[in-house]
Structure 1
Amino acid sequence: MRILIVTAGTRGDVAPFTGLGRRLQDAGHRVALAAHHRFAGLVRDCGLEYRALPGDPVELTRARTAAPSPESAREVFAAFLDELGDGVLTAAASGTDVLLTAFGPAPLSRLVAEGLGIPSAGVYLAPGVPTREFPPPGWPDAGQMSPAGNFTAGRTVLARTDALYADVLRRLRTRLDLPDRAARAAGPPDDWPVCHGFSPAVVPRPADWPSNVHVTGYWWPERPPGWQPPDPLVDFLGAGPPPVFIGFGSMTPADERLQDVVTAAVKRAGVRAVVQSGWAGLAPAGDDILPVGDLPHDWLFPRTAAVVHHAGAGTTAAGLRAGVPAAAVPVLVDQPFWAARLHHLGVAPRPLPMPELTAATLAAALRSCLDRPSYRDRAKDLAHRIATEDGAAAVLTVTARLQHERG
């Protein structure tokens, strides 16, 4: 069976699907992963077929930030979605029996699958189905919601997504020669299968989710074969006690203030640090600091004393897998959700939103991670539970069912 996984966005939106794709491929399927061109090497290095999606998330972020008005920013994003819709169609038309889609491109992927007569399912890295048990990731004032308010907020997010994609979906329908759909409730059909790639020990499956919506356990990024840690990193790790990791992934633009904050916080906390440059281009200097580029978190994090990160879904998962305490510095989208979850689980102090980040607050968060044994004890306990899960197994079951229903 030819399976296409469609994802869009940053590295954190791509890496978990390399592991899921390899697992599907090891089960005998032919797997392609459609993503932006800057991730072509990552996909191919992991042994999967790469199919290109247009656009660059870095350039999109820069263009939206530089837009002179909110209307201009919306126009930039609308143009991005137009190109992305064409890209999803081209990728799927290149030979696909089952289409699996991340949350971001899901409206495009579902419509393309419908037009091509291909069964599809969602593979989401964060909760994407409304529930009364918690508000949707990214919802403001999330701590003040009633059960009814949580559910309404989830439906509102789906309705806003439908509105955001409306124009490109209308054009895709015409291109696919599909009839206009009558008005319906927001979001996908009620029976559309969705697999959520996170641990039920981290986010228990809500009791009000329908039976076609699953919480599977994590899908771990595939480490490229033959990867070896760079010598400077090995030397740094061996030269003293375990360092902390500090990295803000793809969410933070270049910011000289942030570099100064990190440098001062490391000194004030009295720790050694491995600092990942990320989109912020961090390169702090100091005898106790080692700047690095992209590295497999599954290798590095178990060798650290704590991890400071932006609370993206993938980095959050990697820290939990490693069994180390975290200090979460959320920026936007689903990151406040995961940051709050880490604190609720007892593996992290209270979240430190990026606008509140100073050398003093970051140093205090680091010392809290290191000086309170309960954070590490709880992190180790969660890591043991997560290690028993097989997140890809449920996706294999869903794809087999879709293939059977297709005949």
Structure 2
Amino acid sequence: MKFLISPNGSYGDIYPFIAIGRELQNRGHEVVLVTSGYFEDVITKAELRCEPVGTASEYKRTIHNPDLTHPRRGMRVVADTLTNYLPIAYDTMNRLADDDTILIGSSLAFAAIILHEKHGIPWIPVHLAPSIFRSNISPPRVQKTKMPSWFPDALKNAVWWIGDRGVIDRIWCPGLNAFRKTIGLPPVRRIFKDWIHSPDLTIGLFPSWFAEPKPDWPKGVHLTDFPLYDQGEVDPDPAVEAFLSEGDPPVVFVSGTATTGEAAYYEASVAGCVQAGLRGLVLTRFPDQLPELPARIRHFHSIPFSWLLPRCAAIVHHGGIGTTSQAMKAGIPQVIRPYGFDQFDNAIRASRLGVATEISTNAYQANRVATELIRVVGNEVMATTGHEVARRLNAQNTVAITCDAILGSDRR
């Protein structure tokens, strides 16, 4: 069987699909990842085949767009980028597909959905975070504020409709429907309501204790667990080991692997860490964002979280689902500063579990950072809760279970 896997996003979005691809390949299937050439190296190092859609330099131009991390304009940057590459992604997968092919796509793998619609090729969507599932019973938090659960259903439906027709359709649908027209498909609208889900099988890569399925979720949803893949077998820089060994466990600061305009975040982070009297470890692939660092705070390019986080006092981050789940696995407290996408919902869920606190982007100043760090580092209640949550995350092989669901679907 051939699997064409189409993920989009940052490293944290790509890693789970590399893990799925490796497991499927180990079971004797042919696997091809169709994604940005920016990730070709990490995919080939995992001994998987990559068919690039766009170049690494084009991806870098996108992530250097200052609007990418803006709470409103960021969605348009993502939409414009993905719809521009939609014809290439579609043509690539159409060329690779045969009669024994199954398509696996992330939440924004529109080319896979369209190929399924046009040619009937089996398609399985795999969603990384629960915010993608709409519910009136328990609405996900998609912005800074959460839709109140006590709103009557008619009002909730109106809010969803206004958001779809007034914002999402205007941003996503022009480019999407322009391409659909070229291949003879009708236009779509309200794409995040039902279109990105399959009633036969839609996989959620998170556990039910993190987001309990609701009766009004789409049909066919099957939850597994967090994949927790980060290439942890890679040997870290010896300088990292030296830094960790020379003092107390540090606080990790990170703001995602695809963010380049976060100078204010890192400045407040460093100053807050100093005020709290803690050691710090800053992770970014783009060090030009960083202020001058004191001796007790070090910068490193990238370190596997599965290796690093168990040796740290806490982590301050953006709320991406990969970082959130890796921190929960390590059992360390989190301070989350979300700025967009699924991050607001992930932050509130981690906070409700008792393993995280949240700082808004507007409130993210050195004094507030220091206050939160002093509150969470060494907090016995958070430590106990963190260890309980961590035990849940070490109970099963999520990737194997996910592949069992994929191979056991009636789409074969």
Shorter-chain TM-score bucket reads: 0.7 to 0.9
For 2:406, which of 388, 399, 402 is the aligned residue?
399
Contact 2:66/2:261, CA 8 A, preserved across alignment: no
Separation in structure 1 between the aligned mates of residue 309 and residue 353 of structure 2, nearest angstrom: 19
Q: Deviations over 1:58-90 (max 9, x none)?
A: 422544739xxx99x95x766533432113213
Offset at residue 323 of structure 1 (A)? 1.0
Q: Which runs of 4+ in 1 moved over 6 A?
A: 181-185
Offset at residue 292 of structure 1 (A)? 0.6
For 1:363, which of 359, 370, 374 is the aligned residue?
370
Separation in structure 2 between the aligned mates of residue 205 and residue 398 of structure 1, nearest angstrom: 17
- What is the one-letter code of the residue matched to 2:89? V
Instruction: Provide the residue aligned with 1:60 in structure 2.
Output: 62
Q: Which moved more, 1:159-168 or 1:337-346?
A: 159-168
Separation in structure 2 between the aligned mates of residue 224 and residue 155 of structure 1, nearest angstrom: 42
Alignment CA distance shift 1:179-1:3 (3 Å)? same
Separation in structure 1 between the aligned mates of residue 148 and residue 274 of structure 2, nearest angstrom: 37
Instruction: Provide the residue aligned with 1:343 in structure 2.
Output: 351
- What is the one-letter code of the residue matched to 1:43? I
Instruction: Provide the residue aligned with 2:247 in structure 1.
Output: 240
Offset at residue 390 of structure 1 (A)? 3.4
Alignment CA distance shift 1:262-1:141 (3 Å)? closer
Instruction: Provide the residue aligned with 1:83 in structure 2.
Output: 84
Offset at residue 41 of structure 1 (A)? 0.9
Alignment CA distance shift 1:89-1:146 (3 Å)? same
Separation in structure 2 between the aligned mates of residue 324 and residue 182 of structure 1, nearest angstrom: 43
Instruction: Provide the residue aligned with 1:112 in structure 2.
Output: 115
Alignment CA distance shift 1:182-1:133 (3 Å)? closer
Contact 2:273/2:370, CA 8 A, preserved across alignment: yes
Separation in structure 2 between the aligned mates of residue 338 and residue 99 of structure 1, nearest angstrom: 27
Contact 1:131/1:154, CA 8 A, preserved across alignment: no
**Count of aligned pairs between the two proteins:** 396
Alignment CA distance shift 1:183-1:385 (3 Å)? closer
Separation in structure 2 between the aligned mates of residue 205 and residue 252 of structure 1, nearest angstrom: 31
Percent of paired sites with the same residue: 23
Separation in structure 1 between the aligned mates of residue 102 and residue 141 of structure 2, nearest angstrom: 27
Instruction: Provide the residue aligned with 1:173 in structure 2.
Output: 180
Instruction: Provide the residue aligned with 1:381 in structure 2.
Output: 388
Instruction: Provide the residue aligned with 1:46 in structure 2.
Output: 46
Offset at residue 11 of structure 1 (A)? 1.9
Offset at residue 26 of structure 1 (A)? 2.0
Separation in structure 2 between the aligned mates of residue 286 and residue 183 of structure 1, nearest angstrom: 51
Structural RMSD (CA): 2.9
2:212 counterpart of 1:212: no
Separation in structure 2 between the aligned mates of residue 262 and residue 78 of structure 1, nearest angstrom: 30
Alignment CA distance shift 1:109-1:297 (3 Å)? same
Instruction: Provide the residue aligned with 1:146 in structure 2.
Output: 150
Offset at residue 209 of structure 1 (A)? 2.7
2:23 counterpart of 1:23: yes
Contact 2:35/2:52, CA 8 A, preserved across alignment: yes
2:292 counterpart of 1:290: no
Separation in structure 2 between the aligned mates of residue 288 and residue 390 of structure 1, nearest angstrom: 37
Separation in structure 1 between the aligned mates of residue 143 and residue 296 of structure 2, nearest angstrom: 38
Contact 1:244/1:305, CA 8 A, preserved across alignment: yes
Provide TM-score, normalisation by structure 2: 0.86
Q: SS state of the match for residue 21, structure 2? A: helix
Separation in structure 1 between the aligned mates of residue 156 and residue 78 of structure 2, nearest angstrom: 27
Separation in structure 1 between the aligned mates of residue 188 and residue 41 of structure 2, nearest angstrom: 42
